[in-house]
Amino acid sequence: MEKPPTIKDVASLAKVHAATASRALNPQTRGKVSTRTANRVLEAAKSLGYAPNSAARSLRTKTSSVAGVIIPDLRNPVFPPIVRGIEDGLREAGYMALMGNTDGDEERERELLLAMRGRQTDGFILATGRRNDPTPADHVPTVLVNRRTDSSDIPSVTNDNNAGVYSAVQLLASLGHTRIGHVAGPQELSTGWERYRAFVDAMASHGLEVDPGRVVFSTAFTEEAGYRAAVELQRDVTAVIAGNDLIALGCYSALDEHGLSCPDDVSVVGFNDMPFADKQRPGLTTIRIPHYEMGLEAARLLLERIANPTTPAKRVILPVELIRRGSVAPKGS
């Protein structure tokens, strides 16, 4: 039986010392060798089929090259492309992602965090952040994705919620709508809070009234919760901006129950441009967020944080784009 290649075999093929090869193959120490040398070692390892002994390395360095990734709802189509971006970003640096799903349960999240820390996870990317979440007590490197806290001490990658909601209000106002409603997301989450505040500000910027009866709050970013909230909307609205796409689908159901048609009677705009939003009937007008890029950027921020844990926390805000489809029409059309 052929013996598996060793670090010495890799070093010999790359024409470097074994210690240099070891540094080049470890994401934690790769920066200590030149890019040209690192690439040569990586190519040698690939051609030989060399696989580093990660367990042994963990014992030596007290690191695992594993990052914990926790998301709130596997059923929400917005998260798979974000996770793919995270995995690709981590893989480029020799890391792998350890996934966990909380179903929005805070106790389940605490259990996952403890379990993953027990596996010497080097850091976390959390899509579960709440506005009032504290900084991790053990100062483990952590990055928030899609959501953020009210404080500025945890790095985060989010979307430009203000610009997105403003563009939605601008579109509807340009189509003659003045009685615009909002089915907001949960206010304990930055996505729900920021989009609600953006709605109020955008309406004011266009000289439009925000009637309290035209604003309702969904208890979750789900189609079911969106439906339950939307049925409580004041019946004089001619357009609705939803806190996300799933809530928008709940609005579709509520309108149908009231015998109203979208967009003939009420226009609907979502947020996220989740996969298959264009396949709905009617196709959902929405704010497109850069799902994959958000995950990729979160991975980059975490790797930076692992390498330099004391650097100031960065807040990255990515641009969004209004995507118009069949769910909006001029008022009274």
pLDDT tens readout for residues 215-262: 999 999 999 999 999 999 999 999 999 999 999 999 999 999 999 999
In angstroms, the first-to-last Cα distance of the chain is 76
What pLDDT score was predicted for residue 113?
86
What pLDDT score was predicted for residue 58?
46
What pLDDT score was predicted for residue 63?
53
> How many Cβ atoms from other residues are within 10 Å of residue 233's Cβ?
21
Residue ranges of the chain with per-residue pLDDT less than 50: 1, 54-62
CA dihedral 92, 94, 98, 104 (to 10 degrees): -40
Per-residue pLDDT tens for 57-93? 444 444 568 899 999 988 888 899 999 999 999 988 8
CATH of the domain at 104: 3.40.50.2300
Q: How many whole angstroms separate alpha carbon 316 and alpha carbon 280?
A: 31
pTM of the model: 0.79
Residues 74, 187, single domain; the answer is no
- Domain count across the chain: 3
Residues 313, 282, single domain; the answer is no
285 close to 324: Cβ distance less than 8 angstroms: yes
What pLDDT score was predicted for residue 262?
95
Angle (deg, nearest 10), helices 223-230 and 245-257: 50
E strands within the chain? 66-71, 96-101, 123-126, 142-145, 156-159, 180-184, 215-217, 239-242, 267-269, 286-288, 315-318, 321-323
What pLDDT score was predicted for residue 333?
64
Is 2 a domain residue?
A: no
123 token code pair:
């850091």
Residues 298, 276, single domain; the answer is no
269 token code pair:
């705009």
Residues 48, 77, single domain; the answer is no
Burial class (CB in 10 A: 0-12, 13-18, 19+), 109: buried
CATH of the domain at 13: 1.10.260
- Which residues form the domain of 168? 161-289
What pLDDT score was predicted for residue 314?
92
Average pLDDT, the chain: 89
